[in-house]
Chains A and B, each alone.
Chain A
């Protein structure tokens, strides 16, 4: 038997009907790809979710959905829960359960969440700067690598917090923040976030004021364009919207600081005992805050995802079976159409074996091409899955 000749004849036959061949390759490749992509996506999201949850031992936050609290604190999804009072946070710190990191995740700037926290947060996440320096005062921020690249921002630039909604100008004033540094990417939600000192978020909340002579028209920060939204505010309404060296001294906070809002607090116990104590502390009925083990919350979420995946996989498999059935029919029909050609081969003297190999080779070429294509697409999916996931979570 001449395998080269058989390969040649198969190739010619496939080339002769390129549309049919490509359709077959495409439909088989998609059939193989869909369940694979779903599986990659789910398992990848599980790893991504769990990795971050694992490095966040405990979370303290207001009562409510533990998943919402976890997603807000770990992936900076919009806040769904009431705030955690600063007083409760101070109480937590005084208990000495380990390192405690406050988080305020409510506002956005440049399409990314603003995270009010302390420098300890960067230690917890192992974040370093690739450019610039750390925050030194109110109104400073460091930003994630993805955000910096997307908005083409560098140290020394400024970024303005967006108003919560456009009609809310009288309540919360956008703040122009000074970018002091850019963080190294770590392929998590940190890459697309603006980090400020906790107190800076309170300025955006409208809890702190500085005093400043109203600037000359045109010099007003609020008439700048931010995110394509032109924010124009009457300078007589606007108080402070930017912290500058001249006005920093005059900033002062109003009201009872213990009622100031946070979103949650990360607790990193030093040992098992501290951890046990922290967990026990929040068992108390008197305490209105809850403590959450992020890994548990994420595992709960993952098990829901898996149940959905199983359902989707079954659906995909059934669809795939139908598609493969159709492909088989296309093959059989096309061999039918080519009966005359195949009969010619056998009349000239091709053995049944050769005819069978000819058909097998064609099927094999199509199936192997489809498999290669779906493997390539799978690899591509795997490589872009983490990025897509972080997009989906935000």
Chain B
């Protein structure tokens, strides 16, 4: 089976920062779930941003579903991200003046060409499964941390993406919600043949994933990267 996500010989560094990343190879198949673990500051978020096309590597190749992302023009790669990827950000990135529902439907407002009615019904089902449907029309400011996080997850999964990238998606959830949320993401990946890459600190959850990778093993940079 051809991997859905292929990362090859990627090198990256931030301007004015000693941090270096060099990844020889990383792949993920459709329906496969991968957890990336590592201490704070070792580069998990950076790696996910590279895969998403939000950051550009200096070297190497990143291919998602047969499309070489880093050779696309920024506009094309943004459009690809909008339609094919579901992103869950470490800081949720909910827009404060939009209701929870509008935050979840944000990809539609921003130009995603999916059918509005079916996307809305998928989103509402997901919201119900995550127990946040009653907050649909209120502003995220009045939600708890955990509820906001679930709204962010709901937004990422509603568009039925082929690749889901999740940065600490369970960081603020209690134990039972953690398991429920991870279960939901993994089930969604298996059912829809999505590739799921999750960056996490949480050892409690690692059993659920097909593969667990320590980021220090992945990053071949000789610089002392992780504290």
Contact = CB atoms under 8 A, between A and B. Distances in A.
Given A12-B102, A352-B78, A347 B110 contact: no
Contacts of B108: 2, 5
Contacts of A353: 75
A279 interface: no
B93 A5 contact: no
Interface string B129-169: 00000000000000000000000000100000000000000
A344 B93 contact: yes
B77 to A, nearest CB: 9
A351 B109 contact: no
B218 interface: no
B110 A348 contact: yes
Q: How large is the interface on B (under 10, 10 to 19, 20 to 34, 35 or more residues)?
A: 20 to 34
A341 B95 contact: yes
Interface stretch (B5-13, B79-87, B119-127): B79-87
Nearest to A17: B97
A333 interface: no
A16 B97 CA distance: 6
A127 interface: no
A5 B110 contact: yes
Given A341-B95, A348-B87, A349-B79, A354 B111 contact: yes
B74 interface: yes
A174 to B, nearest CB: 69
A380 interface: no
Contacts of A15: 97
A1 B83 CA distance: 13
Nearest to B156: A348
B38 interface: no
Contact of B78 (A2, A344, A349): A349
Nearest to A358: B110
B192 to A, nearest CB: 19
B205 interface: no
Given A5-B108, A8-B109, A350 B82 contact: yes
Interface size class of A (residues with CB under 8 A): 20 to 34
B47 interface: no
A354 B110 contact: yes
Nearest to B80: A349
Given A1-B111, A13-B97, A348 B75 contact: no
B171 interface: no
Interface string B51-84: 0101000000000000000000011001111110
Contacts of A350: 78, 82, 110-111
Contacts of A346: 78
Nearest to B79: A351
B118 to A, nearest CB: 16
A16 B54 CA distance: 28
B140 to A, nearest CB: 12
A15 B81 CA distance: 29
B212 interface: no
A254 B77 CA distance: 104
B107 A348 contact: yes
Given A2-B108, A12-B102, A344-B95, A352 B79 contact: no
A9 B97 CA distance: 9
Interface string A228-242: 000000000000000
14 contacts: A9-B98, A9-B110, A12-B97, A16-B97, A344-B95, A346-B78, A347-B87, A347-B93, A348-B81, A348-B93, A349-B78, A349-B80, A351-B75, A354-B110
10 shortest A-B CB distances, which residue pairs?
A349-B82, A5-B109, A16-B97, A349-B81, A344-B93, A350-B110, A2-B111, A351-B75, A351-B78, A349-B78
Given A8-B102, A351-B111, 13 more contacts: A2-B110, A2-B111, A2-B112, A9-B98, A9-B109, A12-B98, A345-B106, A348-B87, A348-B93, A349-B78, A350-B82, A352-B74, A352-B78
